[in-house]
Amino acid sequence: MGFSSFLTSDTQESIWNVYTGRAETVYMLQPNGLPPIRDDAYLGYMVFGGVDVFVWIAKINGITDLADEEAYRNAGLKIMYDDEHNYNLYLPRFSFNKNAIYEELPNAEFCPNQGFFTGDIL
């Protein structure tokens, strides 16, 4: 699997992975006052602070009866990519600011540089 990442929801900055030498602490924000998930060294594979983004999507949107992590991940992928009405669902939001509030920011967009291709890395 190749690298993938997001832009921060508040500043639209790339969330760089550790292999670029530009990684910095990022927070995956959570709704309803839940604490943000901190990641000090994003590896580039859609897992932030030990939490798979797609598993998080499934669980935060109320899916609780699946057999294993792979089933949750597949459900999260379906929500993220296949649900034409996903604007009513909780989707990832990120910030470098640990005090950012989920409800005040837009959903994160995928990083066009995949969190890796900075222009000076070949």
Answer yes or no: are the C-beta atoms of 52 and 73 closer than 8 Å. Answer: yes
Closest C-alpha to 76, from 90, 95, 96 = 90
Q: Which whole number is the average pLDDT over 88-100?
A: 95
Residue 115 has pLDDT above 50, yes or no: yes
29: how many CB neighbours lie within 10 A of its CB? 25
Q: Which whole number is the average pLDDT over 91-116?
A: 91
Query: In terms of residues, how long is the chain?
Result: 122
Residue 87 has pLDDT above 60, yes or no: yes
CA 53, chain centre distance (Å): 5
How much is the mean pLDDT over the chain? Answer: 89
Q: Is the pTM of this model over 0.85?
A: yes
Please tell me the predicted confidence (pLDDT) of residue 85. 61
Q: Which whole number is the average pLDDT over 5-31?
A: 93
Residue 49 has pLDDT above 70, yes or no: yes
Q: Which whole number is the average pLDDT over 55-73?
A: 95
Closest C-alpha to 49, from 70, 30, 77, 73 = 30
